[in-house]
Amino acid sequence: MEHQNLVRKIFKEVILPGNCFHCGLCEGLTNNLFKMKESKNGPIPNLIRKPLHKDLKDLKKIFIACPGRGVPYNFLLSKGKAKNKNNIIGNYNSIFTASSNSKIIRQNGSSGGIVRTLLLEMIKKNVIDYVCVLNEKKNKILKFDTMITKSEFEIKKLSQSIYVTTPVLHKIKKLKKNKKYCFVGLPEHIAALRILKLKFPNEFSHIKFLIGIYAGTNMYPGAINSFLSANNIKNLNEVKKIDWRYGEWPGKLRIVTKDNKELTLKKFYYNYLIPFFISKNCLITPDLTSELSDISIGDAWSPKLEKKGFGYSVIISRSKYFDKLLGQLETNKKISLKKIRLIDCINMHAHMIEFKKIGSYLRLKFLKKMGPVPSYDLKPQNVSLRRQVIEKCIGSIISICSIKVINKIFLKLNPRFLGFVFEILRNVWKKISKSTKRSGLNKIKFSKVNNIRVEELK
Ligand SMILES: Cc1cc2nc3c(=O)[nH]c(=O)nc-3n(C[C@H](O)[C@H](O)[C@H](O)COP(=O)(O)OP(=O)(O)OC[C@H]3O[C@@H](n4cnc5c(N)ncnc54)[C@H](O)[C@@H]3O)c2cc1C
Ligand code: SF4
């Protein structure tokens, strides 16, 4: 009975209210009980057979590690070994801006090509046997899979950010216990794996390292379809290749059709699709930087570096191993590395950090009136009335954009025009909300919340 009860709870608390983070753990930890299935709102676990008593052990693990039930970040961070405690970017040892010194890796990287540089070095040094990374399925457009590989050639090819909700943990059971793996994932993937590693250390010791990438916003697959349709491409079958960060940093969305037509859109113009297709999971998590990783990588958004171009990453090293590896890579001239202060790191992403730390709290407060929401163990203190009004405006814009008729009318317009208008509105909006958001961030203090998630993990 307990197994049926757990399945019922996963559906009731997570899947049915739309709190699934699409991580793929449901499929990854069970034997053909769940299968991730594509839906308009991202991939969702579907039950493909009746749960049996023999599934109980796996179901217990899913229930405890499911990010859709919430993640007690404060509690989990207190178990880490990083030197500096921080509730905004997660605990850390040191912070850098960096770029790969390999022209090819840097050129086709999302930011500075650091993720692949780290993976290649760990494989070369035999610190790990395999990397687990998201990759496009061969000859399939908008279909992705986790690739488990140690091939230098394959790893080098795995560049680019994939801005579509995609499972990453659905192959976890296939990993061999006598091999060592490094996972690359978004905050939700990293959080689920960290919980498993803490709660079941022996069973998950083969997942040795967690490389987290920053994730501000992600989108449902409809975003690309809509962009194609606005460009008179009716079917995905007409597409040969999609790159979200093609060319020089910050890169642009580039779609090549089978008849070699090339559609491009500046990265920041592509953001016009965000209010229409933003995935719910990135609205209800307080984690931008993959706080529970061993090392986190994002774009080093600073006016000075953006002016230089080429591509720069921001790195938050949270473990002694990565501190040392970064030092070695710098000494061997494989990367260029510059230490930065916490405040510089925060300023690079101030708007997005605020969107996560205060915005998600306000959104969850509102959503809680309608049903279950994920539970977190920190809440921001004294959120100003002005900030609450700003949140209402953001919420209203997203709600209006999700109305079918509005959606249809707007998305028929020329994407370049929409992107241009969106960019102007975004800058105006950033200016209006800057003082409220920045002051909120400077003064932000959190109170601890004791909830069931903390209790479950103790
Ligand atoms: C959905 C999404 C949102 C993001 N939002 C932000 C943001 O708001 N601010 C910011 O600074 N950075 C953000 N990033 C991170 C940024 O785009 C780069 O991925 C990061 O800077 C690493 O760059 P790199 O050049 O070192 O990586 P590369 O060397 O180019 O390697 C990229 C790695 O990322 C992996 N990867 C790509 N997409 C995914 C995915 N969807 N899920 C799991 N793994 C993936 C690839 O498999 C590869 O291993 C986001 C990334 C994604 C995928
Ligand atoms: S968030 Fe992950 S573990 Fe939770 S229901 Fe969704 S796929 Fe399953």
User: Contact, 279 vs 42, CB < 8 A?
Assistant: yes
State the Cα torsion 204-210-214-219 to the nearest 10°. Answer: -40
User: Contact, 142 vs 82, CB < 8 A?
Assistant: no
Distance CA 357, CA 87 (A): 9
Predicted pLDDT at 339: 98
Nearest to 17 by CA among 346, 374, 266, 336: 374
Beta bridge partners of 146: 134
Predicted pLDDT at 137: 87
Tell me which H or E stretch contains 313.
strand 313-317
Q: In this structure, are strands 335-339 and 94-100 parallel, antiparallel, or unpaired?
A: antiparallel
| First CA to last CA distance, the chain | 25
Q: What are phi and psi of 135, to 5 degrees?
A: -150, 155
pLDDT digits (tens, 9 = 90+) for 165-184: 999 999 999 999 999 999 99
Nearest to 152 by CA among 120, 128, 180: 120
Q: In this structure, are strands 144-149 and 181-185 parallel, antiparallel, or unpaired?
A: unpaired
- Which atom of ligand 1 approaches the CA of 311 most closely? 25
- Which atom of ligand 2 approaches the CA of 68 most closely? 1
* Residue nearest (by alpha carbon) to ligand 2 atom 6: 20
Distance CA 196, CA 183 (A): 13
| Strand segments (E) across 107-261 | 130-136, 144-149, 181-185, 207-213, 239-246, 252-257
Q: What are phi and psi of 217, to 5 degrees?
A: -125, 145
Give the full edge-to-edge strand order of the sheet including 313-317: 144-149, 130-136, 181-185, 207-213, 295-299, 313-317, 94-100, 335-339
- Cα dihedral across residues 27, 33, 35, 39: positive or negative: negative
Distance CA 36, CA 31 (A): 13
Report the Cα 259 to chain-centroid distance in Å.
33
Predicted pLDDT at 440: 58
Instruction: Count Cβ atoms below 10 Å from residue 77 Cβ, excluding itself.
Output: 20
Predicted pLDDT at 164: 95
Look-up of token digits 């191993």 = 321
Instruction: Count Cβ atoms below 10 Å from residue 11 Cβ, excluding itself.
Output: 14
- For residue 314, what are its two tokens? 């921001």
* 436: Cβ contacts below 8 Å, ≥ 6 apart: 384, 386, 387, 390
Mutation choice for ligand 1 from 161, 211, 282, 353, CB with most ligand atoms inside 8 A: 161
- Using the mean position of ligand 2's atoms as its centre, give its distance from the Cα of residue 28 in Å: 10
Mutation choice for ligand 1 from 148, 213, 271, 329, CB with most ligand atoms inside 8 A: 213
Distance CA 43, CA 409 (A): 26
Mutation choice for ligand 2 from 9, 11, 14, 172, CB with most ligand atoms inside 8 A: 14
Nearest to 322 by CA among 342, 294, 299, 300: 294
pTM confidence score: 0.96
Ligand whose nearest atom lies closest to the CA of 12: 2
Ligand whose nearest atom lies closest to the CA of 109: 1
Q: Which residues in the chain show pLDDT less than 70?
A: 159, 432-440, 442
